[in-house]
Structure 1
Amino acid sequence: MITFTCSLAENVSRKVRQLDLAKTRLYNVIQRADDILDLKFCTDGVQTALRNEDYEQAAAHIHRYLSLDQSVIELSRQGEESSAVDASLVMLQEAEQKLKVIVAEKLDEAVAAVDLAQVERFFKIFPLLGLHQQGLARFGQYLCSQLAFKAEENLLLATGGDLGEKRALLVFADTLTLLLEEHHQNVEKLLKHCLLSTTMQELIGYYIPMEEYYMRESVNKAVAMDTYEKGQLTSSMVDDCFYIVKKCISRALSSSSIDCLCAMINHANSVLESDFREVLYNKLRQGFPATTLQDIQRGVSSAVSMMQSSLQQGKFNTMSIESAEHAKAAFLVTLNNVEVCSENITTLKRNLENDCSKLFSQGGGSGDQAKIESCLSDLVNTSTKFKDFLQEGLTELNTTAVKPQVKPWISSFLAISHNIEEEEFNDYEANDPWVQQLIVNVEQLMAEFKTALSPVIYETLTSLMTSLISIEMEKTVLKCSFSRLGGLQFDKELRSLVAYLTTVTTWTIRDKFARLTQMATILNLERVTEILDYWGPNSGPLTWRLTPAEVRQVLALRIDFRSEDIKRLRL
């Protein structure tokens, strides 16, 4: 069995080696064909470019020829097409030498004519011909001659009058500043083409992928090591993640390379927008559980029955309660994490703007500034996405945890008769039948969220809750009937509710209850036609939120108002 297996492995290995050899030979054939085609293309192209005096294009063809694999070219010279290859090589070598002479002469002419545009044009061709050092030396000589000429010219101007010792120092400083300002861009161009700049760009090219890998892996580790301590609003991964991101961007900033900085900002934005946001999304997607413990605390009979059933069986399942409580805390912490992420991204963008302004003060073009602004605008978009994500989570929390509790409390309004006489009205005044219990229930409901959510999120959730109460109240009131004193009772209840809700949030409450307030006003009227004292030209500063049809609908809730009188109203 072992011998058979060994023989089979040897056969497979031999076939793999044969396939690999065939692949290598095929690659060499393709490479050889490509190089022959490149030689032909370069030969034709360089001749045409020289005839048209398009020296940049000619230099590009020569540069392509010089970049070909010389060993493959030597192999090509040994084949059947060797004569054609040799002819192409001779023509390219002659064109190379001819172009070097032309470029050198043209650069000398431009220097003599002090034509900066032509100097820059031919200086850029030297590296394509493999003449890096010669090009830098000639361009450096040109700058030196220009500096010397300007220095002498400014010196003559400065020494045209009598100079004291202090004045001479000032003139010297002014002259030096003027020279540097005039040739600042030229010196920058020289530095960009020097070996140091090229080496730095290569290092940055290696650095960026390494930094990106470090950042992604570190963020993933921060997520894996995420912890939450009771009493804290956020978990550890938020601070850890943004510390890592800021550290990586700070290192990129220290390079003073705009391209490097932009690359790292884009990578950081990608990590936050895709990877980290996906982690938070998966946590929120699990939803907010309505736990048994909540039901027990609020005295729901079904939970009591469940508890009694468990006790009768001789055990009480606390694991489900504990896991639900853990899931509930995780959901609220994740909401806080999302809100802090949005704020941290905004702060990161603001700090980067300050750092980049310092960087640009040391020198930088409008193009570089446009790159940075584009990257920073992406951060703004990511912050907005986190805000939208937070709103989705809050809507889920309101729908799952608040709405199922609030709706029955509001619906209990129907069980309290508002078709009452004076005796019942006095009794309601002494023993409130509905609104005070509603306020207690709402306060208990929101108390757990107030301690577990950040102030900003709690305010938003409270706003959603008040909107829900006003909408449900409006639906419920339209199902009731009212006497004159019943309308007065409803007005008192509404005022108490609005007064309480005003104390629990800094947001405007009265605007949300404007329709209900106007409904209470209508239900308090002594006669149908009294509505005309508040309607139309008599409304004064009051802006009616109810339509004429809705006003008639509310008037019809009063049992003592005749439908004929309501129909005759001209609204």
Structure 2
Amino acid sequence: MAVLSSAAALSIELPSSPGAPADHEAEGGGDGVSADGSVSFGSRETLDQIRNLTDVGAMTRLLHECIAYQRSLDLNLEALLAQRPDHDRQLLSLERSSHHLLSSVRADAAHLLASVSSTSNLADRVSSKVRELDLAQSNVQATLSRIDAVVERGHCLDGARRALDSEDYESAADFVRTFLQIDARYRDPGSDQREQLMEIKRQLEAIVRRRLSSAIDQREKTTILRFVRIFSPLGLQEEGLQVYVAYLRKEIALRSRLDFERLVELAEHPQQSRRPQQVNPAAEEQVNFVGCLMHLFKDIVEAVEEKDVEDKDKVLRSLCGDDGVVYAICELQEECDSRGTQILKKYMDYRKLSRLASEINSYSKNLLSVGAAEGPDPREVETFLEEILSLTQLGEDYMEFMLSKIRGLDSVDPELGPRATKAFRSGSFSKMVQELTGFYVILEEFFMVENVRKAIRIDEQVPDSLTTSVVDDVFYVLQSCCQRAITTVNINSVFAILSCAMNLLSNEYQEALQQKMREQNMGAKLFLGGAVAQKTGTDIATALNNMDVSAEYVLKLRHEIEEQCAEVSET
């Protein structure tokens, strides 16, 4: 067991023994014995297994194997030690042959080290001088810049005084802006120049505000533009924008009010409003609500576009960039809501659309009653439809133009876009357009129904035609009404008119086509001979032709409606 303890730190390759593999694996297997029979005597698990061995044969076998392994190690060590003299001779020979070479390399390396160290020291001294020169140059440049700033500040101060005295307010504002820019970079706490300049700035602001207010009261646009542009160099861009937009709104309101008053005068007193030189009644001025609304939109668009101002002199963008344009659009839209709503409301009162809609509803309910009053004249209703369509389409075109104007701007505050869209879509003018569209639907349905019924009542044979007049008349009415509804760009109006057209085709028009075929004894009349049989045959052929052509017209009408809807959706 003492020999086993001394050999426990060795790893032995066990030879494969055909004599006792089963017993050895059973007793010496586990973590200390690998699959190929190798025993690691240095591991703790192997030591524990060896201590637990009880078979003397296994112990003896492991002892002999350990001794054999020790002998093989001794032989390997002796072989390695026998090679030492050869290695010593080779090292001595190598040292003798490379002694001069190593000495030369050592000397060159020492010389290179001395040269690099000298160069490094010289570079450090030169770079330190360069850094000192650069710092000195920077200080000199800063000093010169500060001196220039002091001189320029004095020049701006004197220039602002002279410009203010000579009423050259634009130059004075430029001097003030330049002084403030220099002062922001080179603040001089010990100088009173800033206080003097700020006093000049306050005087200039007071003069500009006073002169601008006077110009606005006198409506001198050139003077207004001159003083509004001075707000920007004074750092009062937002104030200038608000004053200028308020002026634009005031001008638009004034012109719109004059147009509206003239319109009201014509509407309420057409004879009194005739001018003395208009001796011809046909040449007298007409009540034109569309023109009045168009003038309002034109004034707003021209104010936003600034068409009478050069691009480099545009005020809105010079004050606050694209945000200034959006602000102007939103503010002027409030004026559009006020004046536009007033115009549309006056139109509805002038044409008495509420009463007309009530008469149409009452007429439709009492249509079958005995002695029912006649409904409105469809020709007059058609005139109203054209006017309503022009007004609503004009309003839709204006709103779409303004919204596309906002979407086309590059740099806009993210909050202004939704605000502008909401101002257009939820404003009083938009609501009034929707109300007017509601009247349009009522009038259009009445016009379509009455004309279709009239076409059915006056149906007659057309010379040199295979169909009667009802076919062309009915589909012409339906085509005109559907096209007019699609032009409104209002999906509710389109659905209502299309639904009414479908009801007319599937009910009254279909009944009118089938009525000819339901006459009594029509088949017997064909065999009577003579003119009666010929007329009966012609009536039957015409009725069949009416049905056939009507089917073709229905498909054609559907195709035209789809094409027009696609065109409207693309625009």
Query: TM-score surpassing 0.5?
Result: no
Structure with greater Cα Rg: 2
Range into which the TM-score falls when normalised by the shorter chain: 0.3 to 0.5
TM-score normalized with structure 2 length = 0.35
